[in-house]
């Protein structure tokens, strides 16, 4: 049995986290405007990054750009110059990570999810760490991934950032054993992760509750209704939200401290 871990004081857990920025029907997800609005409301921001063909980091959720641009194209197969030919459906361009870092500039916490089209790419993790080297508030940065190898690799190459493991129930339906190992957090201890991001639709559950008793911190995603926010207030330490506007940027941890 692994020993209980001291509860970490992680800055990004004190602000509710806007999923892909504070987007809406008129402002696209993972856009500079969605990030500006989140900063204005004092929310932390969750973003997704993909590595382009020429080694830049694009901030977009899907590998295929069809859903957000109306034009087919795979991020990993495009150069940065080619990516610039795509615009989001609200007319904004697809930002690069360095643009987002310049915009946020340490004003609110930033949670960066590393996305991989097929398998874990070490060069993407290396590029993220390299870009963060001159960031003014390293304590306001956290990283996360669904890929256990990515989590373990990030923990091995940096001690400056909190690294979390993203999890749901049916990520790998064709690989039943691997899916069971991931959703039950059986591999979690080997990742050396600092926190867990778990699908709100499967919270609470005994696997996560067991980890919480050991002092692990849990984010619930994606909270998109008042009912789910209420559930998360008991089952998690903070939320990654969209389609709602929480009353305060402060997460559950900070709220509990304020009342004590």
Of the residues 15, 23, 50, 61, which is catalytic?
Answer: 61
Of the residues 15, 19, 23, 147, which is catalytic?
Answer: 19
Nearest of 221, 215, 170 to residue 188 by alpha carbon = 215
Task: Give the 3-state secondary structure of the chain.
Answer: CCCCCCCCCCHHHHECEEECCCCCCCCCCCCHHHHHHHHHCCCEEEEEEEECCCCCEEECCCCECHHHHCCCCEHHHCCHHHHCCCECCCCCECCEHHHHHHHHCCCCCEEEEECCCCCCCHHHHHHHHHHHHHCCCHHHEEEEECCHHHHHHHHHHCCCCEEEEEECCCCCCCCHHHHHHHHCCCCHHHHCCCEEEEEHHHCCCHHHHHHHHCCCEEEEEEECCHHHHHHHHHHCCEEEECCCCCCCCECHHHHHHHHC
Active site residue 93: no
Contact 117, 76 (CB under 8 A): yes
How many other β-carbons are positioned within 10 Å of the β-carbon of residue 69? 19
Active site residue 19: yes
Tell me which residues are annotated as active site: 19, 61
């Amino acid at each position: 049995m692994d020993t209980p871990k001291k509860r970490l004081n992680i800055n990004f857990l004190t602000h509710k986290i806007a999923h892909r920025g504070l987007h809406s029907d008129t402002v696209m997800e993972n856009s500079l405007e969605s990030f500006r609005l989140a900063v204005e409301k004092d929310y932390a921001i969750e973003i997704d990054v993909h590595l382009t063909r020429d080694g830049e980091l694009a901030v977009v959720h899907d590998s295929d750009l069809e859903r957000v641009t109306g034009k087919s194209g795979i991020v990993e197969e495009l150069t940065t110059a080619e990516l610039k030919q795509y615009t989001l459906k609200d007319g904004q361009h697809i930002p690069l990570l360095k643009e987002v870092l310049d915009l946020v500039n340490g004003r609110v916490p930033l949670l960066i999810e590393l996305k991989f089209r097929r398998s874990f790419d070490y060069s993407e993790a290396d590029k993220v760490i390299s870009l963060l080297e001159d960031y003014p508030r390293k304590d306001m940065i956290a990283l996360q991934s669904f890929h256990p190898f990515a989590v373990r690799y990030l923990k091995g190459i940096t001690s400056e950032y909190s690294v979390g493991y993203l999890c749901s129930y049916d990520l790998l339906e064709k690989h039943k054993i691997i899916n069971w190992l991931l959703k039950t957090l059986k591999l979690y201890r080997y990742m050396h992760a600092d926190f867990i991001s778990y699908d709100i639709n499967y919270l609470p559950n005994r696997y996560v509750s067991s980890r919480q008793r050991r002092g692990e911190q849990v984010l619930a995603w994606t909270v998109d209704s008042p009912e789910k926010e209420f559930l998360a207030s008991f089952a998690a330490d903070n939320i990654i939200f969209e389609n709602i506007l929480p009353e305060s940027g402060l997460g559950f941890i900070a709220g509990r401290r304020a009342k004590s």
